[in-house]
Amino acid sequence: MKRYIPVFGLALAVIIIDQLVKLWVAHNMQLGEEIPIFDGWFKLHYTLNEGMAFGATFGGSYGKLLLTTFRIIAMGVIAYYLVHIVKKGMPRGLQLCVALILGGAVGNLIDSVFYGVWLNNAPLHAPMPWLYGQVVDMFYIDIWEGYVPEWMPLIGGDYMALWPIFNVADAAIFVGVAAILLFQKRFFKEDIHNQEQQQAAEQEQKA
């Protein structure tokens, strides 16, 4: 049982920090308000996101319901996978990365399920407040924002920011996924070794 405490403890820490920051922003800032942090390039900017991480959207009322349902299923799958890799004794680094992803997934799921009621922030077109809450985003890295030149395909003429507004949950998911991709050879060394041995055995049989 003790081996599960660090990883699920990390996931719980991400959830608690994420929710504390979101609730502080929601209760102490006006929607659209900005607070400069570091020379203006890093700000707190209170905004709401109907859709996915980093401000991406998932069209329509039923799209939001599907997204919330998907998040619930994904949370269960990630939690099951985390238990599996801990039980299997996979590298601790991989376990912590998956814990970050789980914590981030649960953090944004709480917004979607409850914030339409707790914060009354469900969109006007939402058929009900439950499951239609909007995710609270606040961290804004102001690298560049403005109008994209007309000659750019697809996005030409649009006003956009180079870096999306995100929250603690988004950051945890991003760090977890990025670290897995970066260190996948180390995390899955045994699997890669077994696969290489199997391929070598198959080549010998063909020879």
User: Which residues are known to be catalytic?
Assistant: 137, 170
3-state secondary structure of 37: strand
CA distance to 19, 124, 126, 133, 199, per residue, from 65 (Å): 21, 15, 10, 10, 44
Tell me the sheet residues that pair with 110. none
Specify the DSSP class assigned to residue 54. Answer: G
Separation of alpha carbons 116 and 126, rounded Å: 9
Which residues, other chains included, contact 107 with Cβ-Cβ below 8 Å and sequence gap of 6+?
Answer: 14, 15, 18, 19, 167, 168, 169, 172
